Amino acid sequence: MSQKLAVCSLEQLKREHYRVVEWNDLKIAVYFHDQAVYAFEDRCTHNPSPLSGGAIEGDEIICIMHGARFNIKTGAVTMPPARCHLRTFPVSVVDGEVLLVLSLRHKIESSH
């Protein structure tokens, strides 16, 4: 069972580059990057610090705290000190609206 969470219009996301939405106790960063939309948990896997707003180089977002890097498209950690990948979330664009596709699995994982 999945549910769709409206983020904003694609045009708004293009203008703002990213948005952070909250769902249960998760913060999810939604980025327009390289002509597509990507979503990942807005929480560095090194320490629980937000990643949104961090510098972007190529496909990497850089944690402002200690410089870990993550691939925006895949969530893969590409530079320590973080060692674990980011959780990513499926997104879709329907009639110009960006939607996060969230499942019960995401909700259960967020409570741990």
* Contact set with ligand FES (CB under 6 A): 44, 46-47, 49, 63, 65-68, 81-82
Select 81 or 90, whichever has its Cβ closest to ligand FES: 81
CA within 13 Å, CB half, 69 = 9
The Cα–Cα gap between 84 and 86 comes to 7
95: left (phi over 0), alpha (psi -120 to 50) or beta: left
Least distance (Å) between residue 62 CB and ligand FES: 9
Least distance (Å) between residue 40 CB and ligand FES: 13
For the purposes of burial, counting CB atoms within 10 Å of the CB of 55, is it exposed (0-12), middle (13-18) or buried (19 or more)? exposed
What does DSSP assign to residue 87? P
Select 13 or 77, whichever has its Cβ closest to ligand FES: 77
Q: Of 109, 111, 31, 102, nearest to 70 (Cα)?
A: 31
Least distance (Å) between residue 42 CB and ligand FES: 12
Least distance (Å) between residue 97 CB and ligand FES: 31
